[in-house]
Chains A and B, each alone.
Chain A
Amino acid sequence: MANSYIPLQMKVQRIEAEDPDRTLRTYDLTFVNESEKEAFKYLPGQFCEISILGKGESPFGIASSPTEPDYLRFTVNRTGSVTSDIHYLRNGDIVGMRGPLGNWYPVDDMKGMNVLIVGGGFAFTTLRSLLIYLLDSRDDYKDITVIYGARNPDLFIYKDEIAIWKQRDDIQFHLTIDKPVDGWNEKTGFVPTVTQEVAPSPEDTLAIVCGPPVMIKYTLPVLTELGFPDERIFTSLERRMKCGIGKCGRCNIGSKYICIDGPVFSMAELKNIPEAF
Chain B
Amino acid sequence: MKMVRLDKQKFNDFIRELSVEYSVYAPGKVSGKTGFIPVESGDEIDFTSTVTDMSAKSIFFPHSEVLFEYDEDGIRAAQTSHRPIAVWGMRSCDARSLVMLDRVFGSAVQMPEDEKFQDPYWKEKYNTSLIFGCACNEPLSTCFCNWFGGGPYNNDGMDVSVVDAGDVYLMEPVSEKGTDIIGKLSCYKDAAEEDKALAAKLASDADSMMIAPPDTDGLGERLTALFDEAVWEEISAKCVNCGACTFSCPTCHCFDMQDEGKGSRGKRVRIWDSCMFPIFTMEASGHNPRALSSARVRQRVMHKYSYYPENYGETLCTGCGRCVMVCPVNLDIREVLKRINVYNEQEK
Interface flags for A102-146 (1: CB within 8 Å of B; 0: not) read 000000000000000000000000000000000000000000000
The docked-state distance in angstroms from the alpha carbon of A243 to that of B122 is: 14
Of the listed stretches B103-111, B209-217, B329-337, chain A binds: B103-111
The docked-state distance in angstroms from the alpha carbon of A53 to that of B75 is: 9
B222 contacts the other chain (Cβ, under 8 Å)? no
The docked-state distance in angstroms from the alpha carbon of A261 to that of B280 is: 20
Of the listed stretches B185-193, B303-311, B338-346, chain A binds: B303-311
B148 contacts the other chain (Cβ, under 8 Å)? no
Of the listed stretches A1-9, A171-179, A185-193, A222-230, chain B binds: A1-9
Instruction: Note all chain B residues with C-beta closer than 8 A to A35.
Output: none
Once the chains bind, are B259 and A9 in contact (CB under 8 Å)? Answer: no
Instruction: Note all chain B residues with C-beta closer than 8 A to A213.
Output: 287
A14 contacts the other chain (Cβ, under 8 Å)? no
Instruction: Note all chain A residues with C-beta closer than 8 A to B256.
Output: 242, 248
Q: Which of B121, B280, B306 contacts A255 (CB 8 A)?
A: B306
Q: Which secondary structure dominates chain A's binding surface?
A: loop
Instruction: Note all chain B residues with C-beta closer than 8 A to A58.
Output: 284
Number of interface residues of B (CB under 8 A): 57
Once the chains bind, are A5 and B77 in contact (CB under 8 Å)? Answer: yes
Instruction: Note all chain B residues with C-beta closer than 8 A to A274.
Output: 224, 227-228, 302
A22 contacts the other chain (Cβ, under 8 Å)? no
Instruction: Note all chain A residues with C-beta closer than 8 A to B295.
Output: 275
> What bracket does the count of chain A residues touching chain B fall in?
35 or more
Interface flags for A1-43 (1: CB within 8 Å of B; 0: not) read 1111111010000000000000000000000000000000000
Once the chains bind, are A242 and B283 in contact (CB under 8 Å)? Answer: no
Q: Which of A56, A243, A252 contacts B258 (CB 8 A)?
A: A56
Once the chains bind, are B283 and A240 in contact (CB under 8 Å)? Answer: yes
Once the chains bind, are A250 and B116 in contact (CB under 8 Å)? Answer: no
Once the chains bind, are A249 and B253 in contact (CB under 8 Å)? Answer: yes
Q: Which of B115, B120, B254, B285 contacts A250 (CB 8 A)?
A: B254
26 contacts across the A-B interface (CB closer than 8 A): A2-B116, A3-B80, A5-B121, A9-B74, A53-B261, A56-B257, A56-B259, A213-B287, A239-B289, A240-B282, A240-B284, A242-B255, A245-B117, A245-B119, A246-B117, A248-B254, A248-B255, A249-B255, A249-B275, A249-B303, A250-B275, A250-B281, A255-B311, A260-B108, A274-B228, A274-B302
Given contacts A2-B115, A260-B108, 19 further A-B contacts (CB under 8 A): A2-B118, A4-B116, A5-B120, A5-B268, A6-B67, A7-B75, A53-B261, A54-B263, A81-B284, A239-B289, A243-B255, A245-B117, A245-B119, A247-B104, A248-B273, A249-B254, A249-B255, A249-B303, A254-B307
